[in-house]
Amino acid sequence: MTDIFDTIKDIALNTAKKADTGYKASRLKLSVIALNKMLESQYRELGAAVYKICKNEEAASREECERIAAMTVQIDGIRKRIAVLERRIEYILGLVRCPDCGNTVKMKNAYCSACGRRLAAEEEDVFENENQMTIPKEDV
Ligand SMILES: [Zn+2]
């Protein structure tokens, strides 16, 4: 009887854990969406600044150059934050990135489904102690 109750308890705990994982991942995904919107508007602003400089067909002023440099630093910061959040989401969802092709693969997978690269740690050498034979006790 306790087995059934334990099983029910396990299922309830796992369901709660999965829901929590989904919730955490969803919240992080919303942050990524917000950051991507920020990134888009930064790119738009940068594009407009560069367009203005090109249209005027004269050398950019020091202020314009500094403004553009500041925008690129901001863009790099946003991109880094997005990359960190994406790695965190993947980790929460039990995914890893293939170091060869960048494809996202389930952590438990031994090989990348896109390029076939081996992902799991090398298996232990089962035959390592093959030559160490056990010596049977001699009968007296
Ligand atoms: Zn791969």
8-34 pLDDT per residue, tens:
888 888 888 888 888 999 999 999 999
Closest by CA position to 63, among listed 79, 75, 52? 52
Amino acid 1: pLDDT? 59
**pLDDT (0 to 100) of residue 134:** 47
Q: Which is more confidently placed, 140 or 77?
A: 77
| 137 token code pair | 């006790």
For residue 72, what pLDDT is reported? 96
Domain annotation covers residue 57: yes
d(CA 73, CA 110): 39
- Cα dihedral sign, 97-99-103-106: negative
| pLDDT per position as a tens digit, 65-80 | 999 999 999 999 999 9
Asked if residue 74 is part of any domain, the answer here is: yes
Tokens linked to 114: 């896109």
Residue 121 pLDDT? 62
Distance 44 CA to ligand 1 centre (A): 33
> Could you give the number of structural domains in the chain?
1
| Ligand 1 centroid, distance to 33 Cα (angstroms) | 26
Enclosing domain of residue 59: 15-93
